[in-house]
Amino acid sequence: MSLSIFIIIPLLTVAGILLCKTHQQVKWVAVVGMSLQLLSAITLILMFLAERRAGNMAEVIFTQDYVWYQTLNIHYFVGVDGVSVAMIGLTALVVFAGIFASWDVTDLPREFFTSLILLASGVFGFFISLDLFTMFLFYELAVIPMYLLIGIWGSGPRHYSAMKLTLMLMGGSAFILLGIVGLYINSAPGGGPLTFDLIRISKETLPMDIQRFLFPLLFIGFGVLGAMFPFHTWSPDGHASAPTAVSMLHAGVLMKLGGYGCYRVAVFLLPQAAHEMGWIFLILATIGVIYGALGAIWQKDLKYINAYSSVSHCALVLFAILMFNQTAMNGAIMQMISHGIMTALFFALIGMIYGRTHTRYINEMGGLMKVMPFLAVAYVIGGLASLGLPGFSGFVAEMTIFVGSFQNADTFHRVATIIAASSIVVTAVYILRVVGILLLGQIRNPEYESLTDAKWHDKISVVALIAGITFIGMAPLWLSDMINGGLGPVVQKLMTAGN
Amino acid sequence: MRQELLLIAIAVILLIVEIFLPDSRKQRIILPAILMMAAATVAGFFPGTPGELFGGMYQSTRLTMMLKNILNIGVLIVFIQSVDWLKQPQNQDRISEYFLLMLSTLIGMNYMISAGDFLMFYIGLELATIPIAALAAYERMKERSAEAGVKLIFISALSSGVLLYGLSMIYGTTGTMYFKDIAPLITGAPLQVLAFIFFFSGMAFKISLVPFHLWTADVYEGAPVNVTSYLSVISKGAAVFIFTIILYTVFAKIAVMWSDLLYIITILTITVGNLFALRQQNLKRFLAFSSIAQAGFILLGIIGQSQLGMATVVYFALVYIFSNLGAFGVIGIISNRTGKENMSDYDGLYRTNPNLSLVMMLALFSLAGIPPLAGFFGKFFLFTAAVNQGYYIFTLIALINTIISLYYYLLVIKAMLLNRSDNPIAHFRSDSYSRIGLLICVAGIMAVGFASVIYEMVFSLSFGLY
C-alpha cells in the first residue's frame, strides 16, 4: 500500500474545495475526501494486520524512500509500524467526525475546511514520516493552521488564545528543530554520511554529552504540544476558544503528536539520556496528571473542564512513556488513542450543546436529558469511558498503564504510580458532577424546553466516535498486539540502554 | 562579462530611445524595458565561460554568474512591480530615469561581485550606491522622500569613507590590492585587524547590521515602496554575497577572529531588529526592521564557514528575494491605490481583497520560516550550517528570535484575516503587471523549497574555508 495517499487525498480535497462555488459543495467535497481517508485508514489497518500475520516482521513496512536533498541526505521516507498505524486510524476517525461536527460553519466555509484539512494532512504526514526533516515539516504544517482556525472562527478571547497557542507551540518546535539538527550532525559517530533517517539513527549510540543536551530539548519541545506541566497553559485557553471541530482535532489528535514525538524521537533515539533524566520529566508528568484533574473540578465552563481533563490524560501518556517498560508504553499508546476518540466526542457534544443553549456554563443549564436525550446519553457514555469504566477504551488504557508502571519495583516509581492512579478518583468526581448538574435534575431555563435534539450530521459524528470507543473497549487485544509489535524495537533499545 | 554587457546595452538603448520620446509618450518605454530585462535575465542562465579581465581585477566564475542571475531575477520583479506606480501622473516625466538608475546600480553590483581586487570592488560599490540615493529621493515633491535620499547619501559617504580607510590599511600592510595576493599575507597583525574592523564596519552599514542600522528605518519609510524593496532585498543581497566571498577568500586566515565578531553582531542584529519590529505601525518601517533581523539570520550561514555555510547564505538570499518582494509588492499596490501604509489600515483586508491578503500571508509565513514555504527550507539549512560548526547555544538564541519574529508577522496576518473593520480598504482590481509580479513571487515561495535541484546547484558552486 502506498502511504503517500494519506497526504495526497487531503491535498486533492483541498484543491477540490478551492474549486467549489457554494457552501454546500464545500462541505460535501470535504465529506467525500475525509470518508475516503477513513476508508484508506481502515484498509491500511487490515493490510497491516494481514502483512504481520503473513510473517513480515520488518521494523517498518510499506516503506517508500526517495532522495530529496542529495547533499544534505534528506529523504522523503515513509513507513509504518504498529504504533503509527494505530495513530493514523485515530486521526482518520477524528477528522471524519470533525467534518460532520462543523456542519454549521457559515462564515468563510471554504477557508475553514481548507485550513482544517491542511492541518489534517500535516498530522497524517507526521505519523507516516520516518525522516526527521519531513517529520518536522509536517509537524509545523499541522500547528500553523490552528492560528487561523481559532482566530477567525473561535469564540471568547479568540485572538489572545490563538496567539498564545501558536507562539507556545512554535516555541516548542524551535527546541525540536535544534534537537533534530543536533541529531543530524551527530548521526554518524563512526564516520560516514550524516542522516535524518530515524531508523538509521536508532541503530547508533550517540555520545553521552550530546544525548544529555538533546534529550531535554526534544522532550520539552514535543512535551509542549503534549501539554506537559508547566507548559500546558496554552491548552485550556486554546481549546476553550476554538470552534468545535478544531477542539476535537486539537485535543484528539494534535496533542498526540506531542506524545508520539516524545516516544518516537526523544526516548527512542536517546535512550541513555532518557534513563538518566527521565525522572525529572516523570515528576512533571505526575504533577500534570493530578493538576489537570484537580483543575477540572473547579471549572464551570464545559470546555475548560474538558481541556483540563485533557491535560491530565495527556500527562498520563507521558507518565507511561517514561516508565520504560513494554506494558506501560503499550498503555501509553492505548491511552493516546482512547483519549483521542473520547475527548473528540466530548468536544463534539459540547459544541452541539453550545450551539443549542448558547452557553457553556454548567450552572446555567440542567435537565438536558429531557430535551436532548441523544446528546445526553452520548455525553454519559463519554463520561463513563473517561473515568475508566470497564467495557470502554479508557479502562483498557489506564489499566495497562498502571499495571505496567507498578512493575517498576523501586520506591520512586511506585510512589509516582500511586499518586497518578489517585487521579482516577478525581476524574470520577468531575465527570459525575457535570453529568449530575448538566443532564439530570430540573430544566432551569424555561427557554430550553423547546430545544431540539441532534440532527443527522451530529448523529453521524457522535455515533462514529462512540463506535470507536466501545469497539476498542470490547475487543482491545488486536490493537494491543499491533501496538506491541511496534513497541518491540523501542523497548529493546531502552532495555539495553538501561543496563 | 555577458551579463554586465547586456545590462549596459539595455541602459544605452533606453537612453537613446528616451531622447526621441516626447514627454506625453514616456509610458511607452515601460514594456520594452521590462522585456529587455527579462531577456537579459534569461540570457544569464545560459552557461558562460569563466575568465578574468584587466589583469585579474575582474573575475567571472560560475558562482558569480549565478549570483548575478539571482540579482537579475530580483530586479526584474521590482521592475514589474513598479509599473503601476510609474504610471501615476506625478512620476510620468521621469520613467526612463527610473530604469536607468536601477540598471546602473545593478551593473555596479555585478562588478562588485565579480571584483578580483579591492579597487574594482570599491568602484562597483560606489556605482551601486549613488544611484540608489537618487532613487530614494525619486518622489521629489514629498519631503520624506527627499529626506530619505539625503540620509542615504550621507550614510553611504560615511560608510564608504570608513571602508576605504580600512582598505588603505590593508594596502599598507600587504602592498597589493589583489584578493589572491592579499590572502596569504593576512597574518592577524594589529594593523590588519584594525583594517578588518574598518572594512567590516563599512560593509555592516551597507547590510545594515546592528549597531550600524540606524539609517535603515527612516530611509525605508521615506523612499518609494519599490525603491525600498530594492534596497532591502537586492542591494542587501549583493552586499552579503561579496561580503561572504571576501571573508572566505581574503580573510580566511583570521577566521577565528571574525567568527567571534560575527557571533556577537549576529545576536545583536537579530535581537534588536526583532524587538524594534514588534512595535512598528507603518508597514514599510515594519519590514525595514524585519529585514534587519533577516540579515542577521543570513550571517548565521556565513559563520558556518563551510561549503554548506556559503550555500545556505546564497540559497536564503534567493528565498528572501521572493518572500520580501512578495510582501513589498502587496504593500506597494495598496499604497499606490489607497495611500494607506499602516497596519491598522489592513484590518479586514481579507474580506475585501482576498487574493492580496493571501499573497501577503504566504510571503510573511515564508519570512517567518513556516513550512512548506521556501523560507522554512532556507532557515532550516542556515541553522544546520551553524550547528554543524558547533554553535548550539547561538542557534538556540536565533531560534527563539524566530518565534519573536513569528509574533509580529502574525500581527499583520491578524489584522488582515482576523480583525474586522468598519471601513476596510475597498475592493479593487490590481493591474496585470502587479499581478504578474506577485505571481512570480508566489511561485518562487511555493516552489523553491520543493525543487531541491536549486539548492544542489547553489551548493555545488559554493566553497568553504576548508
Read off the pLDDT of residues A310-339 as tens digits, 9 standing for 90 and up. Answer: 999 999 999 999 988 888 999 999 999 999
Q: What is the pLDDT of residue A439?
A: 82
Strand, coil or helix: B60: strand
Rounded to 5 degrees, φ, ψ at A189 are -65, -25
Question: A7, A11, A71: which to substitute to probe chain B, counting the most B Cβ within 10 Å?
Answer: A71
Task: Report pLDDT for B87.
Answer: 87
Best to test chain A binding among B307, B360, B370, B407 (most A CBs inside 10 Å)? B370
Interchain pair B417, A174: CB under 8 A: no
Identify the pLDDT of residue A475: 85
Alpha-carbon span A375 to A353, nearest angstrom = 8
Going by C-alpha positions, the residue among A159, A156, A166 that lies closest to residue A302 is A156
Per-residue pLDDT of chain B (466 residues; tens, 9 = 90+): 788 899 999 999 999 988 888 877 888 888 999 999 999 999 988 888 888 888 888 988 889 999 999 999 999 999 999 998 888 888 888 888 899 999 999 999 999 999 989 999 999 999 999 999 989 988 888 888 888 999 999 999 999 999 999 999 999 999 999 998 998 998 888 999 999 999 999 999 989 898 888 888 889 988 999 999 999 999 999 999 999 999 998 998 888 888 889 999 999 999 999 999 998 889 988 998 999 999 999 998 898 888 888 999 999 999 999 999 999 999 999 988 888 888 888 888 888 888 999 999 999 999 999 988 999 999 999 999 999 888 889 999 999 999 999 999 999 999 998 888 888 888 888 888 999 999 999 999 999 988 888 999 988 888 887 6
C-alpha cell at A24: 454546500
Query: Per-residue pLDDT for A117 more than 70?
Result: yes
CA distance B195 to chain A (A): 35
DSSP class of residue A131 equals B
Q: In B, which residues are within 8 Å of A140 by CB distance?
A: 370-371, 376
Q: Give B357's contacts (C-beta < 8 A, 6+ positions apart).
A: B349, B350, B416, B417
Number of domains in chain A: 1
d(CA A486, CA A82): 4
Give just the sign of the alpha carbon dihedral B257, B263, B266, B267.
Answer: negative
> Which residue of chain B is at minimal alpha-carbon distance from A214?
B392
Give the distance from residue B319's alpha carbon to the nearest chain A alpha carbon, in angstroms.
16
Phi, psi of A186, rounded to the nearest 5 degrees: -105, 20
Query: In chain A, which residues have their Cβ closer than 8 Å to the Cβ of B412?
Result: none
Chosen for mutation from B414, B454, B461 (greatest number of chain A CBs closer than 10 Å) is B414
Which of A70, A133, A174 is the closest to B402 by Cβ?
A: A174
Give the per-residue pLDDT at B405. 92
A178 and B410 within 8 Å at the Cβ level: the answer is: no
Residue A136 has pLDDT above 90, yes or no: yes
Residues of A in contact with B371 (CB under 8 A): 136-138, 140-141
Give the model confidence (pLDDT) of A412-426 as tens digits.
889 989 898 888 888
Partners of residue A174 in chain B, C-beta under 8 Å: 396, 399-400, 402-403
Cα–chain-centroid distance for residue A222? Answer: 12
Task: Inform me whether the pLDDT recorded for A199 exceeds 90.
Answer: no
As separate numbers, helices (DSSP H) first and strands (DSSP E) second, chain A gives 23, 2
Give the pLDDT of residue B139: 85
Count CB-CB contacts under 10 A for residue A230: 9
Is the CB of B456 less than 8 angstroms away from the CB of A185? no
Whether the CB of A374 is below 8 Å from some CB of chain B: the reply is: no
CB contacts of A70 in chain B (<8 Å) are 452, 456
Give contacts of A112 with chain B, Cβ < 8 Å.
none
DSSP SS3 for B58: strand
A148 and B CB contact within 8 Å: yes
- Using the predicted structure, report yes or no on whether residue A223 has a pLDDT greater than 70: yes
Are A151 and B418 an interchain contact pair (Cβ–Cβ within 8 Å)? yes
A5-19 helix and A109-128 helix, angle to the nearest 10 degrees? 170
Would you call A147 an interface residue with chain B, using a CB distance cutoff of 8 Å?
yes
Residue A451 scores a pLDDT above 80: no
Q: Do A147 and B372 touch (CB under 8 A)?
A: no
| ipTM of the complex, rounded to two decimals | 0.92
The residue with cell 510582501 is: B327
Q: Please tell me which residue of chain B has the smallest CA distance to A149.
A: B418
Interface test with B, best of A11, A69, A161 (most B CBs within 10 A): A69
The whole domain housing A435 covers: 5-498
| Residue listed under C-alpha cell 532522495 | A67
Query: Where exactly are the structural domains of chain B?
Result: 1-250, 253-466
Are the beta carbons of A137 and B371 separated by less than 8 Å?
yes
Position B466 scores a pLDDT of 66
Instruction: Give pLDDT tens digits for B246-293.
Output: 999 899 888 888 888 999 999 999 999 999 999 888 998 899 899 999
Give the pLDDT of residue B163: 93
Contact A329, A292 (CB under 8 A): no
